[in-house]
Structure 1
Amino acid sequence: MPREIENIEMSPRFSGEIAGKNPRPATWRVAEEVPVVLLYGGEQFGVMMLSPADIEDFAIGFSLTEGIISTPEEISDVRIEQVADGIMVNVIVPEEAVKLSETRMRSVPGRSSCGLCGAQSLEAAMPRPPIASGLVPTPEMALKALAGLAAKQSINKQNFSMHAAALCSTRGEILLLREDVGRHNALDKLCGAMARAGLSSKDGFLVLTSRFSVELAQKAAAMRFAFVASISAPTALALRVANQAKMRIATQGGNELMVFGD
């Protein structure tokens, strides 16, 4: 099966009009998103809305952050097929993982804005997170990483609509970055890319372009990050999850960094 999706433009052009005192025709490059049917061992898990790039990274990362597998080695293949209305992704995993995926199956299509949509119970939506074991940067290096995000977002430079998740070194350098119209999708893609590159939270800390919401807290905790810096402020529930995981959360306020947690 193909690994890359062909003939889907990431930032298609749409026509419109500049409104105001001097109205005039204009075109704008907008973010693409497509439905992705996710299967485990041929059994449908759910339908997600994704930007059509780094699909294999997403499949691996989602499987890890959702706890369907414990290690990327459990995946023997990721079969990606472009179909008429979207993309089909069949993740080949052991039978035990297929059965586990059935207990966590999404009952409604997953939206690009909500990583918990479709969870079938409160227990499934709010599992207790693992304890963090990653690296913690200085405030100066966290601010440096936040400042460097925009320059590394190649797709966002086209359409101004993409979220990003990045692994950064304690020197504030961006080691790996993934983008998606959905903030949690970007993090899943980063998780998969890290797994494929042999990287982990022991190699750095996490930086996000979005607010730090609860589904991001859960996924960051699953990745064992000890420090997360986000451009927007966290939610209260996200901070409670982060505290359970012993994960420090930072948000930028001007030239300063507000850090939550011990």
Structure 2
Amino acid sequence: MNVQQVTKKTRTTTQTQVDTDWVISEQAIALVYNGISHAVMMATPDDLHDFALGFSLNEGIIERETDLLDFEVKQQTNGLELNITLNSRQFSALKNKRRSLAGNSGCGLCGVESLEQTVKSRLCLPKSSLITLSACQHAIEQFIDKQVLRQKVGGVHGAAFCSTETGEVLLIREDVGRHNSLDKLIGALVKNKQQLTPDKGFILVSSRASYEMVDKTIAAGINHLVSMSAATSKAIDWAEQHQLNLIAFASSTRQVIYADNTIS
């Protein structure tokens, strides 16, 4: 259940009113690979197969969708377990990484053992034409209306895949965590890869464009990341190094281009 009903008190200078409210659900979700717990994230418990697939791809645990052989959700006392079965080759590689992390909804590098592990190996994206101002504007105009959870409860991040030509929002995922929403979106894109190929769209996110958000976009092979909030210095550097077009502070009237790696 992605939302929960709670009792609230609304207090003003003249009165206190008791009624109910809807809030976003946040649970501990463990990603368990072949019986071994690898990560615990605080997330919204929906689109969990998308989350497991996107997280596994972005972390380099799997190379393709078919490396994930089976998936099962188990309710535990303190949260949910996503029991993921990998093929023997990918599971052997995972064990060799010796990574064990426990993260929260804002954690992108928790659990790494050294500074060297924070630098990931990514292929450079092919250069591409920068998406138009009108496509960005059209995507932003639709974005809020398509965030169903945000409209109901607030406190939710969104990540959308939008057409590079028109800005039409083609797919959207939401979560209490900004990284999680992007993992879910990328997982959903992989499942719909025949219709939604990376070269046909850009990613629009409600959160800031951090290093990890840029890195996940690069890992997915998508050339453009548009953020409705700020960009960080590391995100800009990583985008420039990998030829990602990065736009931040995007609104219906204004956009800031921090990395423009267009075809010369």
Structure 1 length as normaliser, TM-score?
0.91
> Which residue number corresponds to residue 5 of structure 1?
none
- CA drift of 1:132 comes to 2.0
1:177 and 2:172 correspond: yes
Instruction: Give the SS at the match of 1:216.
Output: helix
Structure 1 Cα separation of the partners of residues 238 and 96 of structure 2: 22
1:169-208 Cα offsets, whole Å, 9 max, x none, are 0201010100000000000000110111113311201100
1:247 and 2:244 correspond: yes
1:128 and 2:125 correspond: no
- The total of aligned residue pairs comes to 254
> Which residue number corresponds to residue 4 of structure 1?
none
| 8 Å Cα contact 1:135-1:205 kept in structure 2 | no
1:33-68 Cα offsets, whole Å, 9 max, x none, are 111111122222121111000000000011111111
After TM superposition, list the pairs within 5 Å mapping 1:71-150 onto structure 2. 71-104=64-97, 106-133=99-126, 136-150=130-144
Structure 2 length as normaliser, TM-score?
0.90
CA 1:253–1:84 in structure 2 vs 1: closer, same or farther (change >3 Å)? closer
1:59 and 2:59 correspond: no
| 8 Å Cα contact 2:139-2:167 kept in structure 1 | yes
Instruction: Give the SS at the match of 2:89.
Output: helix
Structure 2 Cα separation of the partners of residues 117 and 22 of structure 1: 46
Structure 2 Cα separation of the partners of residues 212 and 147 of structure 1: 19
- CA drift of 1:21 comes to 2.3
- CA drift of 1:252 comes to 3.0
Structure 1 Cα separation of the partners of residues 121 and 236 of structure 2: 13
> Which residue number corresponds to residue 163 of structure 1?
157
- CA drift of 1:105 comes to 5.3
* RMSD (Å), alpha carbons: 1.8
Q: 2:199 aligns with which of 202, 217, 225?
A: 202
* Percentage of matched positions with identical amino acids: 33
Structure 1 Cα separation of the partners of residues 101 and 42 of structure 2: 12
1:122-155 Cα offsets, whole Å, 9 max, x none, are 2322213322247742122112212211100111
> Which residue number corresponds to residue 35 of structure 1?
28
Gapped runs of 5+ residues in structure 1? 1-8
Instruction: Give the SS at the match of 1:63.
Output: helix
Gapped runs of 5+ residues in structure 2? none
- CA drift of 1:22 comes to 3.5
Q: 2:225 aligns with which of 197, 210, 228?
A: 228
Structure 1 Cα separation of the partners of residues 76 and 162 of structure 2: 36
